[in-house]
Amino acid sequence: METSGESSREMESQKWRFFPLLPVLASFLLLYVKFPFKQSQNACSLHPHSHYWITSKQIVTPQRVISGAVEIKDGKIISLVSEDKWHGNQFGQIIDFGEAVVMPGLIDVHVHLDDPGRTEWEGFPSGTTAAAAGGITTLIDMPLNSDPSTVSVETLNLKIKAAENNIFVDVGFWGGLVPENAFNATALEDFLSAGVLGLKSFMCPSGIDDFPMTNISHIKEGLSVLSKYRRPLLVHAEIPQEVADHPDTKDSVDNVRSYSTYLKTRPSSWEEAAVRELLTVTKDTRVGGAAEGAHLHVVHLSDAGSSLNLIKEAKTRGDSISVETCPHYLAFSAEEIPDGDTRFKCAPPIRDAANREKLWEALLDGDIDMLSSDHSPTDPELKLLEHGDFLKAWGGISSLQFVLPVTWSFGRKYGVTLEQLSSWWSERPAILAGQDLKGAIAVGKYADIVAWEPESEFHVNAAYPTYMKHPSISAYMGRGLSGKVLATFVRGNLVYKEGKHASGACGQTILAK
Ligand SMILES: NC(=O)NC(NC(N)=O)C(=O)[O-]
Ligand SMILES: [Zn+2]
Ligand SMILES: [Zn+2]
């Protein structure tokens, strides 16, 4: 009895010894309840504050470059203050970028992320982390090179599912216009209603079995459905033509390793023939035309000659048509592509230096509307780098992370301005993709922002932190570039800062409504 009485008294006193610990336990409990919220906010952003300011001496706004501050709240830009009116906000959060450029995040309307189904080529996680590291805040994914191709509501849903919790920047989708759906208006309407931002088709074989090419009748039908939705049709504009001297695939080893052999197989007449045909239907997109409201966008133009002139003329006639080119056509020329270096193989091909000069001229004159990467990676084995066979290697340039420094580095000698960069890479692409709340640093827009240092130089080499799945096949490997990305914000989330990514894949899928 005594023993048990003593032990119960002991227990009693021990119980009270725990009493002072109760508040500590309670606060632990409280933290535990709050923890999931705090963690997710921290995971999305390396600067997890909902209200803060970004300051810089060079903020690129649609009107001009200002020195001042951008106020960001709940993912949007809520005010823009020039330096003379900015008295500092001692109580708020400020990220000061000093002399670095603060510009709208890039919108890359032409990427092949190969997800789902060919993630050994790229995939959403690696593609979008590379984008974030390159200052790109929005990607619009092409309907081919994933498996299956995105050509229906069902296959779009597979894409959306694959992207869920796997994207570090925002991603929208183009839908495929293929012979199978082109004459089925209901199928196309369902597809557009499900959220594809527009359609994309090929006028030559795409290299992907479940993405067959369309002819001009398919394209006409596509435009007619798109006109109701006021969304664009993007076209790979090359039509195979008879080629004199077509090299034989069994040609000598030297021959297939020479870039000029490949170049001869896809002359500019292929692009010209395609553009000529397209213009027979783009006249319907004029005001009062049968397809008014639809828009035709020529992707990755390489030919700065007749093809470009035809597009220019169509614009003056009032056709709703635009055209993009890509950094690799502006950076490289056929003359300098080394034998066997299939990293430079793409379609349409990179042409001669004189053509490159004309592309720059057209871009600066506003005849080329915008830029895109056409990032089209593959399994390195398919590039056949060991044999260097230009005729058999997979076509496509890998560049995603480097398009901003490439455009800047190669554009400097042409006097490219920050306003031009931002128009080619953000403002115009936002319009093409129907993204009213993106593409500019302006009040009411999403805080999609890149901060970068134009004067900082770096070398793309094996040691350089490159996030694309296969850096070795990038055409920019081994190059010196200027223009280093410091930080990237997507809807106010600091998703990338100086070599570090936010841990959470908090990018959003963009679906048209
Ligand atoms: N299947 C592809 O990715 N094709 C791409 N290939 C290139 N550009 O070489 C393209 O955009 O045409
Ligand atoms: Zn293409
Ligand atoms: Zn492409």
Q: Which residue has the higher pLDDT, 242 or 226?
A: 226
User: Which ligand has an atom closest to residue 329 CA?
Assistant: 1
Which residue of 109, 112, 203, 350 sits with most ligand 1 atoms within 8 Å of its CB, as the best mutation to test the pocket?
112
Label residue 246 by pLDDT band (50, 70, 90). Answer: low
Indicate whether 324 pLDDT > 90.
yes
Indicate whether 24 pLDDT > 60.
no
- Atom 5 (ligand 1) nearest CA: 396
Q: Which residue has the higher pLDDT, 96 or 28?
A: 96
Q: Which residue has the higher pLDDT, 311 or 27?
A: 311
Report the pLDDT value the prediction gives residue 250, as an integer from 0 to 100: 57
Residues with CB under 6 A from ligand 1: 112, 144-145, 206-208, 236, 300, 346-347, 374, 376, 395-396
Report, as an integer, the average pLDDT of 330-337: 98
Question: Mean pLDDT over all residues of the chain?
Answer: 93
Gap from CA of 289 to ligand 1 centroid (Å): 31
Report the pLDDT value the prediction gives residue 36, as an integer from 0 to 100: 42
For residue 206, which atom of ligand 1 is closest to its CA?
A: 1
Gap from CA of 430 to ligand 1 centroid (Å): 22
Beta-strand pair 101-104/509-510: unpaired
Gap from CA of 81 to ligand 2 centroid (Å): 42
Gap from CA of 240 to ligand 1 centroid (Å): 15
Per-residue pLDDT tens digits for 364-381:
999 999 999 999 999 999
Indicate whether 3 pLDDT > 70.
no
Q: Among 25-39, 113-127, 189-203, 220-234, name the one with the lowest average pLDDT.
A: 25-39
Q: How many Cβ atoms from other residues are within 10 Å of residue 310's Cβ?
A: 20
User: Which ligand has an atom closest to residue 349 CA?
Assistant: 1
Q: Among 92-96, 328-332, 380-384, 506-510, name the one with the lowest average pLDDT.
A: 92-96
Q: Kindly list the protein residues that place their beta carbon closer than 5 angstroms to ligand 3, a single-atom ion.
A: 374, 376
Q: How far apart are CA 289 and CA 509, in angstroms?
A: 33
Which residue of 206, 379, 399 sits with most ligand 1 atoms within 8 Å of its CB, as the best mutation to test the pocket?
206
For residue 346, which atom of ligand 1 is closest to its CA?
A: 9
Which region holds residue 444: left if phi is over 0, alpha if psi is between -120 and 50, else beta? left
Report the pLDDT value the prediction gives residue 492, as an integer from 0 to 100: 98
User: Which ligand has an atom closest to residue 328 CA?
Assistant: 1
For residue 299, which atom of ligand 1 is closest to its CA?
A: 11
Report, as an integer, the average pLDDT of 40-68: 95
User: Which ligand has an atom closest to residue 396 CA?
Assistant: 1
Gap from CA of 389 to ligand 3 centroid (Å): 21
451 within 8 A of 441, measured Cβ to Cβ: no
Indicate whether 38 pLDDT > 70.
no
Q: How far apart are CA 461 and CA 224, in angstroms?
A: 47
Report the pLDDT value the prediction gives residue 247, as an integer from 0 to 100: 65
Q: Which two tokens stand for residue 98?
A: 């000093």
Per-residue pLDDT tens digits for 448-487:
999 999 999 999 999 999 999 999 999 999 999 999 999 9
Q: Among 76-90, 274-288, 402-416, 483-497, name the one with the lowest average pLDDT.
A: 76-90
- Atom 12 (ligand 1) nearest CA: 347
pTM of the model: 0.92
Report the pLDDT value the prediction gives residue 90, as an integer from 0 to 100: 63
Per-residue pLDDT tens digits for 185-236:
999 999 999 999 999 999 999 999 999 999 999 999 999 999 999 999 999 9
For residue 347, which atom of ligand 1 is closest to its CA?
A: 9
305 within 8 A of 355, measured Cβ to Cβ: yes
Interface ipTM: 0.98
Indicate whether 2 pLDDT > 60.
no
Report, as an integer, the average pLDDT of 259-279: 98
- Atom 11 (ligand 1) nearest CA: 374
Q: How far apart are CA 329 and CA 338, in angstroms?
A: 16
User: Which ligand has an atom closest to residue 118 CA?
Assistant: 1
Report the pLDDT value the prediction gives residue 92, as an integer from 0 to 100: 82
Per-residue pLDDT tens digits for 137-185:
999 999 999 999 999 999 999 999 999 999 999 999 999 999 999 999 9
Q: Which two tokens stand for residue 286?
A: 């004029």
Q: How far apart are CA 62 and CA 39, in angstroms?
A: 36
Tell me, letter by letter, the H, E, C secondary structure of 187-251.
HHHHHHHCCCCCEEEECCCCCCCCCCCCCHHHHHHHHHHHHHHCCEEEEECCCCCCCCCCCCCCC
What percent of the chain lies above the pLDDT cut of 70? 90
Report the pLDDT value the prediction gives residue 251, as an integer from 0 to 100: 64
Indicate whether 7 pLDDT > 70.
no
Beta-strand pair 370-371/321-325: parallel
Per-residue pLDDT tens digits for 379-432:
999 999 999 999 999 999 999 999 999 999 999 999 999 999 999 999 999 999
Gap from CA of 396 to ligand 1 centroid (Å): 5
Gap from CA of 60 to ligand 3 centroid (Å): 29
Q: Which residue has the higher pLDDT, 53 or 40?
A: 53
Gap from CA of 408 to ligand 1 centroid (Å): 24
Report the pLDDT value the prediction gives residue 215, as an integer from 0 to 100: 98
Report, as an integer, the average pLDDT of 343-355: 98
Gap from CA of 236 to ligand 2 centroid (Å): 5
64 within 8 A of 417, measured Cβ to Cβ: no
Q: How far apart are CA 441 and CA 124, in angstroms?
A: 26
For residue 112, which atom of ligand 1 is closest to its CA?
A: 3
Indicate whether 37 pLDDT > 90.
no
Q: Does an H or E element contain 489, and which?
A: strand 480-490
Gap from CA of 238 to ligand 3 centroid (Å): 12
Report the pLDDT value the prediction gives residue 252, as an integer from 0 to 100: 75
